[in-house]
Structure 1
Amino acid sequence: MISSKTYRNILNFVMFELGWLACVLLSQTWALIIVAVFLLVHFVLVSQYKMDELKFIVIGTLAGSLLDGLWLRTGILADTSGAAITTPLWLVALWAIFMTSLNHSLKWLGSNRLLMLLIVPIAGPFAYWSASALGAVTLPNLLPSLLALAVGWLVFFPALLSLRDFLYPRLAR
C-alpha cells in the first residue's frame, strides 16, 4: 500500500478518470478488463480498509446500477446499442470505479455539504452528457434528461456518503 494519502488520492483520481474513459470509449470487454485491473490496483495500493471498502463499493455499485437501470427504463437515458434490457455492464463497471473515489479522491466533496449540493447536480449530469457526446449513451430529451439526472444526483450522492458514514465509519475518516 502507498503510505502517502496524497499519492493514494492522486492514483485513485487517475484510475477513476481513466476507468471512466475506458467505460465510455472502449468495447465493453476492454472496459471490464481495465476496470477490474484498476480495482485490483486500488485494493493493493490505495485502500486502507479493504473489506469495509469492498462492501461499500459492492453496495454502491448495485445501487448505482439500479438507478441507471431506472433511468434507462424511463427514457432519461438510452443505451446506444438499443438492446439494453438491463444496465449495460460497462455502466456497472463505471459505478464500481466511481465508488472507489468516494473515500479517496472525492472524499473532500462530502466534507462540505453546501459545496456538494452546488457541484453534484452539475457534475453528475455533466458526466452523462459527456458520455452522450462520446456516443456511449444518448439523452433522448436533453433538458428533461439533464434535469432528472441533476435531481437524481442531488439525492443519490449524499445518500451514498451517508450510507458509507453510517455503515462503515472507519471509511469516513
Structure 2
Amino acid sequence: MFGKVINALAFQAGWLACVLGGTPWALPTATVIVTCHLLWLSKPGEWRWLVGFTMLGAGVDGTLTLLGGLRFADASGLPLWLWLLWPLFATTLHHSLAWLWSHPRLAMLGGALGGPSSYLGGARLADVELAPWAVVVQAVLWGSLCGWLALRTVIYRDRP
C-alpha cells in the first residue's frame, strides 16, 4: 500500500514539474522518478511499458500538434516536458492505478474524463492552447486506452 501511495505522489510531483517547470524542471525530475521507480517499485519487464507509453505519447501528442489541436506559445513542435508525462503516467499502471483495471467500465469513464481534464489543466498552467475538438479526441483516446488496459487485465487474469 505504501508503494502505491508513493507511486501516486511521485506521478503528481512529476506532472507538476513538467507542466509548471517546463523542460528544465521536467527532465531531471522525470529522470529521478522513473529511475527510482525502476529500481524500487517496478515489476520485471515493466520498463517496456514506460518505453511503449513514451512512444505512444509522442505519436498522440505529435499528431495533435501537427493537426493544430495543441499550440505551444514558446516552442515549435512538441516540447520534451510533454513527452515526459507519458512514461510518468506509465509508472502508475501496475501500481497506484492497478485497482482500476479490474473495472473496465470505470476505467473507460476514468480515462474519458481524466485524460482530457489533465490536458485542460496542464494547458492552462503551461500556456498551451488546446483546440476544443482535441479535448473530444482525447476523451475518446483515453477512454479507449484505459478500457483496453482494463479488458487486457480481465482477459489475462481469467486465463487458466
Give the TM-score category using the shorter length.
Answer: 0.7 to 0.9
Work out whether residues 105 and 147 of structure 2, in 8 Å CA contact, stay in contact via their aligned partners in 1: no
Work out whether residues 18 and 85 of structure 2, in 8 Å CA contact, stay in contact via their aligned partners in 1: yes
- Equivalent of residue 146 in structure 1, options 111, 132, 135: 135
Q: Deviations over 1:99-119 (max 9, x none)?
A: 000111111121100111222
Q: Distance in 1 between matches of 2:48 and 2:87?
A: 11
Alignment: residue pair count:
156
After TM superposition, give the deviation of residue 95 of structure 1 in Å: 0.5
Q: What is the match of residue 57 of structure 1?
A: 50
Going from structure 1 to structure 2, the CA distance change for 1:13 and 1:136 (only over 3 Å counts) comes to farther
Q: 1:74 is aligned with what amino acid?
A: L
| Runs of at least 5 residues in structure 1 that lack an aligned partner in the other structure | 1-5
Going from structure 1 to structure 2, the CA distance change for 1:70 and 1:55 (only over 3 Å counts) comes to same
1:67 corresponds to 2:60? yes
Work out whether residues 22 and 30 of structure 1, in 8 Å CA contact, stay in contact via their aligned partners in 2: yes
Going from structure 1 to structure 2, the CA distance change for 1:136 and 1:107 (only over 3 Å counts) comes to farther
Q: 2:66 is aligned with what amino acid?
A: R
Q: What is the match of residue 26 of structure 1?
A: 21
Going from structure 1 to structure 2, the CA distance change for 1:77 and 1:27 (only over 3 Å counts) comes to closer
Q: Distance in 2 between matches of 1:162 and 1:109?
A: 11
3-state secondary structure, aligned to 1:134: helix
Going from structure 1 to structure 2, the CA distance change for 1:162 and 1:95 (only over 3 Å counts) comes to farther
Q: Distance in 1 between matches of 2:84 and 2:39?
A: 18
Q: Distance in 2 between matches of 1:28 and 1:138?
A: 18
Q: 2:4 is aligned with what amino acid?
A: N
After TM superposition, give the deviation of residue 160 of structure 1 in Å: 5.1
Q: What is the match of residue 115 of structure 1?
A: 106
Q: TM-score, normalised by structure 2?
A: 0.88
| Runs of at least 5 residues in structure 2 that lack an aligned partner in the other structure | none
After TM superposition, give the deviation of residue 80 of structure 1 in Å: 2.7
Q: TM-score, normalised by structure 1?
A: 0.81
